[in-house]
Structure formats: C-alpha cells, structure tokens
Amino acid sequence: MIETLKVPDDCATMDEVRAGVDRTDRELVALLERRFGYMRAAARIKQERAAVRDEARKSAVIAAARSDAEARGLPSDAIADIWDRLVEASIAYEFDEWDRLRS
C-alpha cells in the first residue's frame, strides 16, 4: 500500500503531521545536497582562495531569503537567521573543498 502524503491543511492527526514533517526534512536534506554540490563547483572554479568569502553575495542571498519568506507569510527574521547559518556553513565547506582540491 502506498501512503499518500497530505498537505498541511488536510492533516487531521499528529501522525499525518509527523509524516509530512519527516518527508519534508528528507526533501530539505536532498536540496542541501544539491546546494553543497554547487559549493564544490564554486571551489573548483574559483582561482583565488580569497574569492570564497564574498560578503556582498552573502548579504544578497540572505536578503532574498528574507524577502521570499515575507512574501510567503513566514517568520522572516527566523528565515534570515537560518540562511545566515546556511551561508556560513556553505562558505566553510567551500573553503575545505578549495583547500582539498589544491593540496
């Protein structure tokens, strides 16, 4: 039997909510895998290690996430905080990859 996932507004039980959260978490990790793949590509492409950290780009990415959150009615401060941590983790990963590729 294939279990169908309910959208949040159609959930009537906590089991349905938890199934949706668990599936969404797996999807988020898959998306993060793709995002970090782009960080590997950036580490490969960038010729200078100093180019890994780009504060203007970081600010733009966080501002875009905040704006998207606001448009969706989500808590924009919390989303901006999550994105700040995500971008910092991505930068750290890219530095590690940059160094690994050139060692």
18 among annotated binding-site residues: yes
53 among annotated binding-site residues: no
Mark 75-90 as b/e (b = at least 16 C-beta within 10 Å): ebeebbeebbebbeeb
46 among annotated binding-site residues: yes
94 among annotated binding-site residues: yes
Rg (CA), the chain: 18
Residue ranges of the annotated binding site for substrate are 18, 35, 46, 94
Per the annotation, binding residues are: 18, 35, 46, 94
